[in-house]
Amino acid sequence: MNMIKILDRINVLARKNKAGGLTPAELEERQLLRQQYLGIIRGHVDKSFHAITFLDAQGNDVTPKKLTQEHERPSIQMNDAV
């Protein structure tokens, strides 16, 4: 399920919860959807962070070696089925 569909379903459940409450199955579904959503967000943040190159005032690459090694590793691809 992609992020938009996850958010749409989370919002449907939020409105239903506000209107009258959720069944135990819906509470479980909401928790699962929230975990999936956070996983997607964390994947995007992690991928963005590992793409950063740090430069000093003179334009020299001062990216920490550990991060440079992460740049060289194949990145983990987040798929929509998370």
Q: Where are the domains of the chain?
A: 3-72
pLDDT of 75: 53
Q: Residue 21: left (phi > 0), alpha (psi -120 to 50), or beta?
A: left
pLDDT of 81: 45
Q: What is the pTM of this model?
A: 0.66
Closest alpha carbon to 77 in 50, 53, 55: 50
pLDDT in tens, the chain (82 residues): 799 999 999 999 999 999 999 999 999 999 999 999 999 999 999 888 888 888 999 999 888 888 777 766 665 554 544 4
Neighbouring-strand partners of residue 61: 55
